[in-house]
Amino acid sequence: MAGVDGLCGPVADFLAYLQIERHASPHTLLAYQRDLQVLQQWCGEHAGGDVLQLQGDDLRAFVAAGHRAGLAAKSLQRRLSACRSFYAWHLRHGRIQASPVAGIRAPKAQRKLPQVLDADEAVQLVELPTNVPLGLRDRALLEIFYSSGLRLSEVCALRWRDLDTATALVQVHGKGRRERLVPVGSHALAALAAWRADSGGSDDAPVFPGRNGGPITQRAIQLRIKQLAQRQGLFKHVHPHMLRHSFASHILESSGDLRGVQELLGHADIATTQIYTHLDFQHLARVYDAAHPRAKRVDKGQ
């Protein structure tokens, strides 16, 4: 099977599986394509060109070559993860006898905690004036992000039919076409109702339409949120995923229910959600340092 951008054979077969059977997003497909294209090119230069003939030592050399080229540990991890999924799929289909990636680990990357808004900053951001052009739309946009912790792609895909005001739930079409129901807060419901009354959207219409009447683009939302944050006096680099991080952090901080946060975010693996426990512990440490009489550091000059 011929693939895009020069990819063919086993790599193109795997990408077709991701696209057709797994319904992977364009972003995910592009990431896999880039990493496997590098593998295919390296194989052609160093190992005869057949990626299904590579052995464990070949994959170690491949990872080492990326490390010598200055690739960051996180990028090496992503690249190795793509190779792991690629070979696992071919192993299931009997095209190889064993995965050459088994037992290979990329260098550990320093884990960066996501940036979040505190509760006051979040309120400051979402409480936009609505008596300005696009004010009702912008208020509804920010409220649904912070109220329900949706991904950028999920907000772009929202249709009015997905919103059930009677139960205060929104049906979200997430990654891999997984669907979930997420609560919508009262402030977000009010903002959405005001926006719908102003825009007159039908059930099948996008909640946030673009200029051509179809769903608004992700880039348009990213730029708009950056502008709105600056207008509201927040000079952090505010972006849609920061609102999702803030939602998760604030829910976990109040409830301590990691499984619940996992369900709300639509994470397939709870390990993805666990990063928010570190944020929560940071908050607890700050509370402790500020409140406990024995937490304060002793001045060495005393």
Per-residue burial over 129-165, b if 16 or more Cβ lie within 10 Å, else e, is ebeeeeebbbbbbbbbbbbbbbbbbbbbbbbeebbee
32 is catalytic: no
Q: Which segments of the chain belong to CATH 1.10.150.130?
A: 4-92
Cα→Cα distances 133→130, 162, 218, Å: 8, 26, 20
Q: Return the CATH fold of 119-288.
A: hpI Integrase; Chain A (1.10.443)
- To the query of whether residue 244 is one of the catalytic residues in this protein, the response is yes
CATH 1.10.443.10 location in the chain? 119-288
State the catalytic residue, choosing from 175, 180, 187, 239: 175
Which residue out of 139, 151, 224, 250 is catalytically annotated? 151
- State yes or no: is 27 an active-site residue: no
Per-residue pLDDT of the chain (302 residues; tens, 9 = 90+): 344 445 568 999 999 999 998 888 888 899 999 999 999 999 988 877 789 999 999 999 998 888 888 888 888 889 999 999 999 999 999 999 999 998 888 777 666 667 888 889 999 999 999 999 899 999 999 999 998 889 899 999 999 999 999 999 999 887 767 788 888 999 999 999 999 999 988 999 999 999 888 999 999 999 999 999 999 999 889 999 899 888 888 887 777 777 877 778 877 776 766 666 665 555 555 655 666 555 555 444 44
Residue 175 is among the residues annotated as catalytic for this protein? yes
Write down the catalytic residue from 224, 244, 245, 250: 244
Kindly give the interhelix angle for 9-20 and 73-92, rounded to the nearest 10 degrees. 90
Look up residue 183 and give its DSSP letter: E
4-92: CATH topology is: DNA polymerase; domain 1 (1.10.150)
Which tokens is 109 given? 């990357």
